[in-house]
Structure 1
Amino acid sequence: MHLIKALSSYTRRQFRDTKWRAVILLYHRVTELSTDPQLLSVTRDNFARHLQVMKKHGKVVSLRRIADAIPSCSLPARSIAITFDDGYSDNLHNALPLLEQSHCPATFFISTGYVDRGREFWWDELDRVLLQPGLLPRTLDLKIDGSSYSWTLNDATYYNESDYQQNRLWNVLESDAPTSRQHIYRSICQLIQPLGDAERQGIINEFLKWAGAEPICRPTHGILSEKEIKRLSESRLAEIGSHTMSHPVLSKLNLDMQRVDIGENKAQLEKIIGRPVNSFSYPFGTETDYTDDTVSLVRQAGFQCACSNFPGVVSRDSDSFQLPRCLIRNWSDEEFEHRLEEFFNG
């Protein structure tokens, strides 16, 4: 009888080990935007429906539970973790209430270099100038990483309300740019993304000066303040995670610069929330956006897990410092349900 029990236990454990697969979902924003060229936002209605689908077809658990379960495979077979990157204020004001209504935990990875600066993320500042209605100078000249670039706006120098409405749903994944403004937006994003923070910010400042625009922050594009981070951390369902100070492509920085950007962010967040920050996510997060040395630095900084930004399931063989995540778009509940099944089936 003891032998039968032992064999039965072994069979259950073997089944659990082979079938255990978890999915980590990557969100950025929960809000309604008129333009969303980076496809970062999910509407409140769709996010609420996503949560319903998750609860129907899986078990929503914390990121840390998934990371801790990798060696033992001790979670349900269809575990789901919810994460948010960057630190937009709508994470607190829009996402958290819906998470609390559904009793679903989430991890919020925050870049603190933008906190309480009264500025938008650089990609949003480009959006505010180029993709909204208004008049701009005909020619834009910028020096980027030692090279000179020039763009001509042509017919898009004046961008009227009709142009805006016609093109406001454009995003960077589309192969064509309907006007020179979208072309310039995509070009500048590609050119300055790999740069260090000081150089990148200098270029954005020159760009704003060219446009005659002030460095402001629209209410629709607010970034979490220190007080809001503290409020977010007080929810029993919210974990605060680290996402560097300046949101750089870490692989483009030397090791000392990476160490500072990672370490200062962790220290600042811990000072704000008054407890350790144990989880990290790599900015941009694809395989080329960080290196093996970066992973070592994250370990040395005292983190217990780290998330990347490439799709995949978490299994017993996953690296807890390179956890795959599935990027979520503004999908309907039907589309999200279909995608979730695809994620689990790998």
Structure 2
Amino acid sequence: MGIRGFGRLKRAVQQVRKRLASKAVILMYHRICEVDLDPWGLCVTPQHFAEQLEVLQKHTHPLSLKQLVQAYRDGNVPNRAVVVTFDDGYADNLHNAKPLLEEYNTPATVFVSTGYIGKEREFWWDELERLLLKPGKLPDKVSLTINSSVHHWELGTAADYSLEEYQGDRTCKAWEAKPGSRLSFYYSIWQLLQPLPETERLKALDEISAWVMVETTARKTHYSLLLEELLALEQGKLIEIGAHTVTHPFLSAHSLAFQQQEIRQSKADLEQILNRSVTSFAYPHGDYNLETVNLIKEMGFVCACSCIQDIFWRESDCFQLPRFGVENWNGEEFTKQLSRWFND
């Protein structure tokens, strides 16, 4: 083999090694804000988000989701590529996240549940939190009728929820709640409501609202996007809007026809609003089955994000993209997390 042939072979080997070594990370956010209670760990403060974006600019290669998928298909994913995504469609994505994304020139994809656009009610998990997780007293015994079945709870000490207990729960996740606590009671009802269709869930929330004697008025801190805010969010070249169903259900808990309607309608809603094709999707709660994946492919999406915690690499499936959930870390801790994810 001549010198030129050897040089070409060497470059080819280097290119293959580069492709095999290239790893990317997709980040999952929900909210950029500060709230009193965050039982699902959805909130990152604006200050910490700014620190995280600064870390991304210094130590990674930020890409849009669309750019990452195209690079994957071309076999040319930049090493240490990072994609920022948001789920649900909270208004703070526009008011708090977008200005910082623009300041740090970082692209992002926001997956929006279209049934909540412009609604006066909060996302159902937030509404349930507002009804049940406020300092004060609830009835000692509670009954809730769901699908003609009556469920009973005896709250015991959880009936009284002191300010001290409330403040102590500020850093506690719902699934880590101490048995017998008010937060544990909240989690038990959340588990009961989560597989329901939206109409049944709203009926249950209205029933809960009646027995706790609290109105269903949404808090300004928990608004979902208004129609004009959704349009403003996508203005410019940094933010892309993706689909996230209509009512944010656990898709695998429902029939194929139900899943098909939720996915197709969310895509159609957004395409009508944005006047462009919508080709990216995120599974609500990261929940799906093989039928769901096939529906996504059939409806013309080019990618779909899951909640599987893993890196994105040559073996990844573009319709089951892994993502790492981001917590309210400062810049130093976020840097450590990135190093763990990239296995530095």
Unpaired runs of 5+ residues, structure 1, are none
Paired position in structure 1 for 2:269: 268
Q: Distance in 2 between the 1:54 and 1:338 partners?
A: 12
Judge conservation of contact 2:177–2:183 (CA < 8 Å) in 1: no
Q: Distance in 2 between the 1:101 and 1:129 partners?
A: 37
2:76 counterpart of 1:78: no
2:206 counterpart of 1:208: no
Worse-matched range after superposition: 8-17 or 235-244: 8-17
Compared CA separation, residues 343 and 210, structure 1 to 2 (3 A): same
What aligned pairs does 1:174-323 form with structure 2 within 5 A after superposition?
174-177=176-179, 180-285=181-286, 289-323=287-321
Q: Report Cα offsets for 1:198-225 as digits up to 9, x if no partner.
A: 2222211211121112221101101011
What aligned pairs does 1:1-346 form with structure 2 within 5 A after superposition?
1-145=3-147, 147-177=149-179, 180-285=181-286, 289-345=287-343
1:319 deviation in Å? 0.8
Q: Distance in 1 between the 2:157 and 2:6 partners?
A: 79
1:8 deviation in Å? 3.1
1:193 deviation in Å? 1.0
Letter in 1 for 2:174: V
**Residue 256 of structure 1 aligns to a residue in which SS?**
helix
Judge conservation of contact 2:19–2:77 (CA < 8 Å) in 1: no
1:335 deviation in Å? 1.6
Compared CA separation, residues 222 and 72, structure 1 to 2 (3 A): same
Judge conservation of contact 1:20–1:73 (CA < 8 Å) in 2: no
Q: Report Cα offsets for 1:175-217 as digits up to 9, x if no partner.
A: 515x632121010111111222222222112111211122211
Q: Distance in 1 between the 2:188 and 2:17 partners?
A: 50
TM-score normalised to structure 1 length: 0.94
Q: Distance in 2 between the 1:251 and 1:234 partners?
A: 34
**Residue 109 of structure 1 aligns to a residue in which SS?**
strand
Q: Report Cα offsets for 1:202-261 as digits up to 9, x if no partner.
A: 211211121112221101101011111110111210000000001011111111111110
Q: Distance in 2 between the 1:116 and 1:210 partners?
A: 27
Q: How many residues align?
A: 342
1:67 deviation in Å? 1.4
Q: Distance in 1 between the 2:130 and 2:24 partners?
A: 38
Q: Report Cα offsets for 1:246-299 as digits up to 9, x if no partner.
A: 1011111111111110011111111111111110000011xxx21111111011
Worse-matched range after superposition: 96-105 or 203-212: 203-212
**Residue 284 of structure 1 aligns to a residue in which SS?**
helix
1:36 deviation in Å? 0.2
TM-score normalised to structure 2 length: 0.95
1:112 deviation in Å? 0.9
1:3 deviation in Å? 1.2
Letter in 1 for 2:13: T
Aligned Cα root-mean-square deviation (Å): 1.7
Q: Report Cα offsets for 1:9-39 as digits up to 9, x if no partner.
A: 2022112111111110000000001100011
Judge conservation of contact 1:152–1:180 (CA < 8 Å) in 2: no
